[in-house]
Amino acid sequence: MSKRFKVVVTDFLTHPPDTEERVLGDLARVEVLRAHHEDDLLGRIEDADAVMIYHCLRFTEKSIARLDRCKLIVRCGVGYDNVDWAYARTRGIPVANVPDYGTEEVADSAIGLTLALTRGIALLNSQLRCGAVDWSYKHAAPLGRLRGRVFAIIGLGRIGSATALRAKALGMDVAYYDPYAPDGRDKSLGVRRVESLEELLAQAHVVSAHCPLTAETRHIMRRETIEQMPTGSYLVNTSRGAVVDTSAIPGAIASGQLAGAGIDVLEHEPPPADDPLVSAWRDPRHPAHHRVLVNPHTAFYSEEGLTDMRVKGAEACRRALVGLPLRNVVN
Ligand code: NAD
């Protein structure tokens, strides 16, 4: 078969497209566009037969309207809130995601953040390193035993379920709120379903967010909902930044409402210099300095996961180009 198709990788990828070419090379030429903004795509995507997009760009009507012969837009990742999938549907262009490349990595990271916070590991390391305290476990007090405490999950999908199994292995009492999960998931995983967010938050030792970003989940954790958690509990977010209003965290840490927070994702990435959470976390005089962990949207990352994401994204394009049934279509 000749290379009669063109596939573009719009953003994120800075490597040559060697992995994508191993999957698509006999069919298509693969162009890496390294765009930082949608406007960088002008004149470069119009004749693409398939588009691979990561999370560094918004892909709106403005770009989608210019696609003349696109058979698939694939979001090489889980969350597709940066693609106007509803508009793509009106143009007859399917949008698919790559849902499973990093399920275990994100779950491992959520549990990693949980353990670093609830066992006092991050707090003591941070205080000791800057000479703020003497050589004693007491500076992490009071720490409770994890066994039997409630690990509260918002959104029991792929990653929420993988995290639930890990929290169960720690002996935690796993509960979840997910109004859209079908009946029975609680039984297959041996965890507890609760019917309202309020009920979940009131009993949580740790709240871990694993829902998509939607109009309903935007700022689902904010000052009012954090105040529904017990004093001295913990908040972990490895889902999407805007699921948590992080401007509420410094105050909640200062008041003792939260004993710690683990934040892998922010509403604006990278964050502006005056971001309230990041400013407090960088300030050695603010209690958030020792009690908050911030990572640069890295929970998905492992070398194997990154390869899976690229291979599976390219395989989705291949199926679209040769006319095979598509998988993981979200629109
Ligand atoms: P999924 O679609 O398998 O699961 C999401 C679950 O959230 C579903 O069960 C859904 O019913 C539930 N949900 C939807 N609306 C809800 C609401 N209002 N309240 C409670 N639950 C709700 O998705 P997943 O693969 O498990 O991914 C979960 C999240 O992790 C997504 O936000 C995704 O973007 C994010 N993610 C982050 C990283 C990272 O590196 N930090 C990597 C991959 C995925």
Ligand 1 site, residue 308, Cβ cutoff 6 A: no
- Confidence at 2, pLDDT banded by 50, 70, 90: low
Which residue out of 200, 217, 239 has the highest number of ligand 1 atoms within 8 Å of its CB and is therefore the one to mutate?
239
User: Is 303 in the active site?
Assistant: no
207 CB near ligand 1 (under 6 Å): no
Alpha-carbon gap, residue 328 to 131, rounded angstroms: 51
pLDDT attached to residue 71: 98
Q: Mean pLDDT over all residues of the chain? A: 97
Per-residue pLDDT, 151: 99
Report helix, strand and coil shares of the chain as percent, to nearest 5.
35, 15, 45
DSSP for residue 140: G
What is the C-alpha to C-alpha distance for residues 33 and 35, in angstroms, rounded to an integer?
Answer: 5
Confidence of residue 172 (pLDDT cuts 50, 70, 90): very high
CA of 239 to the centre of ligand 1 (A): 6
160 pocket-lining for ligand 1 (C-beta < 6 Å): yes
**Distance of CA 104 from the midpoint of ligand 1 (Å):** 13
Asked if the model's pLDDT at residue 1 lies above 60, the reply is no
Q: Which of 240, 290, 291, 310 is catalytic?
A: 240
Does 240 participate in catalysis according to the annotation? yes
Of all protein residues, the one whose alpha carbon is nearest to atom 15 of ligand 1 is 211
Are 331 and 95 contacting, i.e. CB atoms less than 8 angstroms apart? yes
20 among known catalytic residues:
no
**Cα dist. 25→2, 29, 82 in Å?**
9, 6, 28
Domains of the chain (ranges; CATH) run 5-101+303-322 (3.40.50.720), 103-294 (3.40.50.720)
Q: Could you tell me if the CB of 156 is within 6 A of ligand 1? A: yes
Alpha helices (H) along 61-171? 61-64, 85-90, 103-118, 121-129, 158-169
pLDDT of residue 158: 97
- Ligand 1 centroid–CA 259 distance in Å is 25
Q: Distance (Å, rounded) from C-alpha 94 to C-alpha 321?
A: 12
pLDDT of residue 96: 98
Select the more confidently predicted residue: 223 or 2: 223
pLDDT score at 15 = 86
212 CB within 6 A, ligand 1: yes
Name 38's Cβ contacts closer than 8 Å, sequence gap at least 6.
57, 58, 59, 60, 62, 63
What is the Å distance from ligand 1's center to 71 Cα?
26
- Tell me the pLDDT tens digit for each residue of 141-171: 999 999 999 999 999 999 999 999 999 999 9
Tokens of 142: 């009071």
Could you tell me which residues are beta bridge partners of residue 193? Answer: 176
* Token pair belonging to 261: 């927070």
Cα–Cα distance measured from residue 168 to residue 175, given in angstroms and rounded to the nearest whole number: 10
Q: Encode pLDDT of 14-38 as tens digits.
A: 989 999 999 999 999 999 999 999 9
Tally Cβ neighbours within 10 Å of residue 1.
9
Q: Which of 55, 82, 166, 178 to mutate to test the pocket of ligand 1 (most atoms within 8 A of CB)?
A: 178
Q: Confidence band (pLDDT; 50, 70, 90) for 239?
A: very high
Please report, rounded to a whole number, the percentage of residues in the chain having pLDDT higher than 90: 98
- Residue 246 is predicted with a pLDDT of 98
pLDDT of residue 327: 96
Quote the ligand 1 centre to 138 CA distance (angstroms).
37
Distances in whole angstroms, Cα of residue 91 to Cα of each of 188, 268, 313, 330? 40, 29, 21, 14
Reported confidence tier of residue 3, pLDDT bands at 50, 70, 90: confident
pLDDT tens track for 80-130:
999 999 999 999 999 999 999 999 999 999 999 999 999 999 999 999 999
Question: 């005056």: which residue's tokens?
Answer: 274
